[in-house]
Structures are given as C-alpha cells and as structure tokens.
Amino acid sequence: MLIQLNTFLATAIRADPVLSLAQAVCWLDPLWASDPDNLEDDSLLTALQVVRTALPEAYAQAVEQLRAGLPVGQIEQSICNAIRGYGIEIEEIESLAYGIPIPTYGARLDDPDFHESHPDVVAILAWFDQESDGDTFDLDETALQVGKWLHESLITTSDAGWQQVGWALGWLFSCTGNSSVDLDWESLDGLTPLDWTPDNLAFARELIAEADTILRDVNAGLEHLRQPEAAREMQSHIRRLKRHLQKGHSYADAPRLVWRTALDGADRAAQTDAQFL
C-alpha cells in the first residue's frame, strides 16, 4: 500500500509542471530556502551554504557528491580544495563560519620575538634613531613620517631594486595600502570579517595576490639594504629628511630624493620568495 501511494504521488508530481520544477529545485539545490547569513553549527551545512553563495560550481559538485553517497569528510575536503583553488587558503572546514580568512604579514614591532626573527630589520630601524628596549620598538612620529616619505619616493623610481626597497619600508612602516601586508593578526582580528559573497571573495583573492607580489618585493628590498652602498645612501636620505622635518617643513615641500646607487632588482626578485616574513 505504501509503495503504491509513493508511486501515485511520484506520478502526480511528474504530471504537474510546477511540482516537477519544485522537485528538480529540491534535488539540485537542497539549500534553496537556507539563509546565507545564518550559518549552521554543522560544518558540512556551513560549507555548503558558503559555496552556494560564493562558489556555485563547488556547490553543484558537492551536491552531486552528496547524492552519490560519498563520505562527509571527503565532501568537506573537496569543498576546501575548491576554495584553495580559488586562491583562499583555509586550514580547516570549521573556519568557514568566521568569514573569508585573510592572511596577515604586518611587521609586529611590539612582538618580543620580532628582534630575533628579523635582526636586519632591527638594524634598519636603528637608522631612524629608533632604539629597542629589548622587546619592542616604539616608533616616534618623525620616524613614521620619514619612513612613509621614503616609501612613497622609492616606489615611483625607475630603478626596480629601489622600488623593492620602497616596498620593504612600506611593510616595515605599515603603509603599503594592502591590509594583508600592513596589519598583523591582532589588528585584523578587531575588524569585521568579510562575508562569503562573490564580490568579497573576488576582493579577497585580489588582495591576497597583491600581497604575495608585495612580499616578494619586500624580501628583495631587505636583501638590497644589506649592500653597504645602498645602506649608506639610505641613511644619508634619512638624515636629510629628518633635518627637513626639524626645520618645520612638511611633505609638500620635501626635497627631491635622487637614488644614485643602481640596484639590480629583477635578478634578485627572481631569487627570493615570500617565506622570509
């Protein structure tokens, strides 16, 4: 009797175009009535809601895997791989509930481990007359201003090597304009995370790709500053800009900086990667 009733209902559904369409929707899009702003506690449901909104192709693949009876862990891994393939690195499926993860590479001058990890950066900060108390750096306003001026001057030069030095200073003084490069994880943690929308996903992908490019230049720029000639020229310009500020002048009438030492940025950039940071 129950089998006959089921057959009768299936026949009735197929005979009605609206019911047939509704059945197709439920089969192909089981979360059609879900609220993307109300993520579930279940990790798989959360992952499905995320990709349904942000990566429809990954959602369609996951639904197909569900219908095929694949293990939950395998489906979750497939979703993670799809997100990573888009350029967003995630560590575990549970993290999807907290928004789009953005990596952070900001210079943490207040981190006790910073000095040990970046001894060359500590030496550069000393050029700005910034002394460490053993655990942290506390940049004064003059050092911050000079660092930003140098960054803005260097990234517009024609020499690729000095441009890379400019990006290194931009990272050090948190003024590259890229949030992933300028902020550390504590600073980013205080910001509202990006929701899983197509626009936010595209923005995050662009931000991360730009950060990777900047970090390659940062590493190359730090390498350039290990050259004695480049270090001397940089210190000379720092002293010049500091004197300019001490006389009460502003950035609007800052002296034009000429970078005389040629740096071979292209060759060095090919030999570095983003792992230094």
Q: Residue 182: which residues within 8 A CB-CB, separation 6 or more?
A: 106, 171, 174, 175, 176
Instruction: Give the residue-averaged pLDDT of 115-133.
Output: 78
* pTM for the model: 0.80
pLDDT in tens, 177-197: 999 999 987 777 767 889 999
Give the model confidence (pLDDT) of 218-267 as tens digits: 999 999 999 999 999 999 999 999 888 888 877 777 778 888 888 864 44
CA–CA dist 45, 53 (Å, integer) = 12
* Helices 228-246, 141-154: inter-axial angle, 10-degree rounding: 120
